[in-house]
Amino acid sequence: MTDSRRSAPVDLTPEEFAEAGHRLVDDIAELLRTLRDRPLATGESPEELRRHFDASEPLPEQGRAAAELLRSTTELLFEHSLYNGHPRFFGYISGAPAPIGMLGDLLGAAVNPNMGAWVLSPIASEIETQAVRWIADLVGFPAGGDGVLTSGGNVANMLGFWAARASRAGWDVRASGMTDADARPLRVYGAKGTHTWIHKATDLSGLGVDAMRWIDTETDGRVSVDGLRRAVEDDLEADARPMMVVGTGGSVSTGVVDDLPALRSLCDEYDLWFHVDGAYGAFAAASELAPDDLRALSEADSVALDPHKWLYAPLEAGCTLVRDPEALLAAFSYRPDYYYFQTEAKNYFERGVQNSRGFRALKVWLQLAQAGAAGYRSMISDDIELARRFHAVAAEHPELEALTQGLSITTYRYVPVDLRGREGEPEVAGYLNELNEAIQGRLERGGDAFVSNAVLGDVYALRMCIVNFRTTEDDVDLLADITVGEGRAADRDLRPDALRADTLRP
Ligand SMILES: Cc1ncc(COP(=O)(O)O)c(C=O)c1O
């Protein structure tokens, strides 16, 4: 240390920062330029990967020069990553990251506001408030409520859950938990396929996972409203306290949208909190291609959305919206005396589970400002149209079977021509499941296209989902060709003798 200047091992001079930063931005630009032509995954096994990066190496005693460290780390990441921004990444629900969002993360980290308290993040907190407002506007959620950005869909849903619990328990559940003299077993209702965040929410809040009533779905995959009513009635009869209904605004497997208007009516009838899990699908409410029922998310008490899915924000960014402007405060606010602020304003630490918070709002806000509402409407509609196109391509193809289509998710499978028409035979059905599981594995390792899976009753389906502004018609057409190529190869390897053409029954 000197009198005027301290030289810290983690610091960079502005000149060093500029040089390393420019180089990094150039490298990222090159990645974006070449992304389409790169393999989207390397297919390396954990053992192969560990040859390039040994996670067990101890922390070095002496550090390394930042510029060289950044260069070698960039190379490591570029050579060994899976790119969910690649135009033929169709797996799970991972949005392609928008370039301005990447830069937003850098800018946000440079200013580094602590988004817990307004006084520590004045302009940044205002930006979050506007980003949340814009999200609500985009999906048609009424102004006048409240909202907050979260790490992702799981936490966004949990905030809705805890707001429901505080509002509908009927006693001061925040103070006395489940031990209050008036406490009753709280009950939650949703379709059988409701996303697994509900396990964590019921478990961690002390309700227990058994508090969740998993309601059967109709043949169209939507939650049975009659089944739901019966479950509520049964619980009332048993002196339990029905608390909330979770409607799905785009299911994770097939993009099914529940009958949200009917769920709202049922909630009104029984005074239940109505939460919509729109982590995947809520943004589609902005598109005229989405089912009308989805737009009834505007009637919900709370909605979870995921900007890191269909707003194409880099991970992480989720969002909770609530209709009642006091609902988040009523569920989360505590004001210890060490959080005394001279300026009273909107403090986000009182509106969720985080205390110190990062500036994830900046990337979301920048992206919304860059594309505008019209830009998002058109990108989301394009994604839906492309998934529909793929369904049509699969339906036409002699070796593919198109299965479900919902929002931007299409499920399908490979069926060898000579097994067509025999899918119902137990031996063939079992083999088709094995075959398609193998195809998915081959796609995952091959690096040309990436799909995940859905289980539809007894059928193992391939599942493609588009939340990617780079995907084109050519990419979805190519996915059909790539699947068929892998399907033929896997079929050659796996077909049991009993199902070979020469032994097939006539
Ligand atoms: C319907 C639904 N809910 C919740 C989640 C969880 O979101 P996240 O992974 O952002 O926590 C997902 C993720 O795919 C989802 O599809």
Each residue's pLDDT, cut to its tens digit, for the chain (506 residues) gives 455 678 899 999 999 999 999 999 999 999 999 999 999 999 999 999 999 999 999 999 999 999 999 999 999 999 999 999 999 999 999 999 999 999 999 999 999 999 999 999 999 999 999 999 999 999 999 999 999 999 999 999 999 999 999 999 999 999 999 999 999 999 999 999 999 999 999 999 999 999 999 999 999 999 999 999 999 999 999 999 999 999 999 999 999 999 999 999 999 999 999 999 999 999 999 999 999 999 999 999 999 999 999 999 999 999 999 999 999 999 999 999 998 888 889 999 999 999 999 999 999 999 999 999 999 999 999 999 999 999 999 999 999 999 999 999 999 999 999 999 999 999 999 999 999 999 999 999 999 999 999 999 999 999 999 999 999 999 999 999 999 999 999 999 999 999 986 555 54
Structure tokens at 498: 């009993």
With a CB cutoff of 8 Å and minimum separation 6, the contacts of 234 are none
Looking at the CA of residue 93, tell me the nearest atom of ligand 1: 14
pLDDT on residue 3? 59
Q: Is 352 in the pocket of ligand 1 (CB under 6 A)?
A: no
Number of helical H runs and strand E runs in the chain: 15, 11
pLDDT on residue 506? 47
Q: How far is the CA of 279 from the centre of ligand 1 (A)?
A: 5
pLDDT on residue 6? 82
Q: How far is the CA of 306 from the centre of ligand 1 (A)?
A: 8
Q: How far is the CA of 93 from the centre of ligand 1 (A)?
A: 8
Q: How far is the CA of 361 from the centre of ligand 1 (A)?
A: 19
pLDDT on residue 361? 98
Which of helix, strand or coil describes residue 320? strand
The CATH number of 374-503 is 3.90.1150.170
Structure tokens at 21: 């930063």
The listed CATH number (2.40.160.40, 3.40.50.300, 3.40.640.10, 3.40.47.10) that belongs to domain 113-358:
3.40.640.10
Structure tokens at 193: 């396929």
Structure tokens at 445: 């390792």
With a CB cutoff of 8 Å and minimum separation 6, the contacts of 25 are none
Structure tokens at 312: 């194409």
pLDDT on residue 168? 97
Backbone angles phi, psi at 499, to 5 degrees: -110, 10
Lateral strand order in the sheet of 409-414: 400-406, 409-414, 459-465, 452-456
The tokens 């049991």 sit on which residue? 496
Structure tokens at 123: 């302009």
Q: Is 280 in the pocket of ligand 1 (CB under 6 A)?
A: yes
The tokens 């239940």 sit on which residue? 272
Contact (Cβ atoms closer than 8 angstroms) between residue 348 and residue 148? yes
| Distance between CA atoms of residues 360 and 318, nearest Å | 9
User: How far is Cα of residue 404 from the mean position of the Cα atoms in its chain?
Assistant: 20
